[in-house]
Amino acid sequence: QTVSLGEDYVETICGDIHEELIYTYEVCETISDNPFVDPYDEKDNKTVPEEDKGDGSEEEHIINNLSDVANCVYNKLIQKNGNLFKTTIGVFIENPDYHLQLNSGGECNEENDDGCANPIHLENGLVIINIRNEGRGTLDLAATLLHEGIHAEIYKYVDEYKKGLDPNDRPNLLGYYFEWGAKNGLDVATAHAQHQHMADNYVKPIAKAIRALDNNRYPLEDYMGFGWDGLRKYGWDGYYDNGVWVKLDRKDGYEVARKKILDNTTFNNNCNE
């Protein structure tokens, strides 16, 4: 016997009837084809009224569980809608096949990670970002969200590429995946491949994005420390700028400049009130 508990996505399947002494019971299993629905949660099993059904809006594809401070920073990124945001976190907003979940807290592979992207449910179209350290809750947190957003978009892209859904070739990224034997999961090889690709291609875009959020108050070079966060061991000697290798001096004062910016920025002061 099959009993529908909702619209298209939850059902209860009942099997053999068992008789024991003075009572009879039936063995049932509740299942769901929707990875975002808990079949045992009554509130999720209710049919969505026609007027409340989604229309492809952000709320459908971005599952926001961020704290007040992190959510405030995230909303600033949405309002700015810079190129890096649009091409990373933003791609989930308009893609009905993939969802992005943003959490404050959660587990990461490395205990000291400020944040991480988790593709454990990628087969169901879900990538999870956990923010474990909000830092000062200003530009540093924005950089963490963008950094993890890049990871999330890479997971999505490789998944689509392997399925033949995205024919666009990214030789730098796919080359590192091949070199490291990356599985596009939580394996160490994938972490190395993604970080090396990011060190080659995303340090400057992150710096530009943070500078724009800070109203371009200082030269771009002063914001490069935000781009190098989490990537130093993968490219501290240099990085690619439009295909041209730019050599770096390890003595460059990126951290000094980064601290100066964080000490003086007015970005998101209201988020910490």
Phi and psi at residue 33, in whole multiples of 5°?
-90, -5
Note down the domain range covering 193.
58-272
Kindly state the percentage of the chain with pLDDT values over 70: 71
Based on the fold, state whether residues 164 and 36 are members of the same structural domain.
Answer: no
Q: Identify the weakest region by mean pLDDT among 149-163, 195-209, 243-257.
A: 243-257
More confident residue, 188 or 20: 188
Based on the fold, state whether residues 202 and 238 are members of the same structural domain.
Answer: yes
- Measured CA to CA, the distance from residue 71 to residue 79 in angstroms comes to 12
Q: Is the pLDDT of residue 123 over 80?
A: yes
Q: What DSSP state is assigned to residue 49?
A: P
Based on the fold, state whether residues 11 and 36 are members of the same structural domain.
Answer: yes
Smallest CA-to-CA distance from 47 within 37, 56, 60 is with 37
Based on the fold, state whether residues 194 and 268 are members of the same structural domain.
Answer: yes
Q: What value does the mean pLDDT take over residues 193-219?
A: 95
Q: What number of CA atoms fall less than 13 Å from residue 38's CA on the CB side?
A: 4
Model confidence at 230, pLDDT cuts 50, 70, 90, reads confident
Based on the fold, state whether residues 170 and 75 are members of the same structural domain.
Answer: yes
Q: Is the pLDDT of residue 42 over 80?
A: no
Based on the fold, state whether residues 220 and 86 are members of the same structural domain.
Answer: yes
| Cβ atoms of 78 and 149 closer than 8 Å | no
Based on the fold, state whether residues 22 and 109 are members of the same structural domain.
Answer: no
**Exposed, middle or buried by CB within 10 Å (0-12, 13-18, 19+), for 141?**
buried
Report the domain count for the chain. Answer: 2
Single-letter residue type at 129: I
Based on the fold, state whether residues 34 and 136 are members of the same structural domain.
Answer: no
Based on the fold, state whether residues 46 and 72 are members of the same structural domain.
Answer: no
Based on the fold, state whether residues 36 and 150 are members of the same structural domain.
Answer: no
- Measured CA to CA, the distance from residue 68 to residue 41 in angstroms comes to 26
Q: Is the pLDDT of residue 44 over 80?
A: no
The per-residue pLDDT for 112 is 86
Q: What number of CA atoms fall less than 13 Å from residue 158's CA on the CB side?
A: 24
Q: Pick from 52, 70, 91: which residue ends a domain?
A: 52
Cβ atoms within 10 Å, residue 86: 13
Based on the fold, state whether residues 65 and 181 are members of the same structural domain.
Answer: yes
Q: Calculate the alpha carbon distances from 216 to 83, 202, 223 in Å.
A: 15, 18, 10
Based on the fold, state whether residues 99 and 202 are members of the same structural domain.
Answer: yes
Q: What number of CA atoms fall less than 13 Å from residue 223's CA on the CB side?
A: 24
pLDDT digits (tens, 9 = 90+) for 252-270: 578 889 999 999 999 987 7
Q: What value does the mean pLDDT take over residues 11-20?
A: 39
Model confidence at 58, pLDDT cuts 50, 70, 90, reads very low
Q: Is the pTM of this model over 0.85?
A: no
Q: What value does the mean pLDDT take over residues 116-120?
A: 96
Bridge-based pairing of strands 10-20 and 23-32 is antiparallel
Q: Pick from 52, 67, 83: which residue ends a domain?
A: 52
